[in-house]
Amino acid sequence: MSNENKGVDAEIVRKIARLSRLHVDEDRLAPLADELNGILSWIEMLGEVDVKGVEPMTSAVAIDAPLRADVVTDGGVRDKVLANAPKTEAGYFVVPRSVE
């Protein structure tokens, strides 16, 4: 991006808003550019943190996620699920035809 050195300006915010299909009033473009530049500054500061020897983590607490067996089943509750349906036939939901 050619604007990396000068940060985000009102024109970049206008382009981002257009691509996001958002309406942003002209008088809000400059303040939004300032906010985005502030956010990008904080992100750049994170790059300065020394993380050598720090293990990646998915949680702040060391826990093991319980895993279930990867087995294909029908759920075993067909009759309970079908009990809520307005109309069933041969173990299936009956719905109005949508394509003639």
Dist CA 52 CA 49 (whole Å): 9
Residue 9: predicted pLDDT = 95
SS3 51: coil
Give the count of domains, the chain.
Answer: 1
Please report, for residues 9, 73, 78, 79, 86, the alpha-carbon distance to residue 90 in angstroms, rounded to integers and kept in the order given: 63, 19, 11, 11, 14
pLDDT (tens digit, 9 = 90+) per residue, 11-55?
999 999 999 999 999 999 999 999 999 999 999 999 899 999 988
Q: Residue 95 falls within a domain, yes or no?
A: no
Residue 82 lies in a domain: no
Instruction: Tell me if residue 92 falls in helix, strand or coil.
Output: strand
Domain range for 15: 10-46
In angstroms, the Cα distances linking 95 to 85, 86, 88, 89, 92 are: 10, 9, 9, 10, 10
Please write the tens of the pLDDT for every residue from 64-93: 878 888 888 878 888 998 998 999 999 899
In a domain, 14, yes or no: yes
Q: Decide if 30 is inside a domain.
A: yes
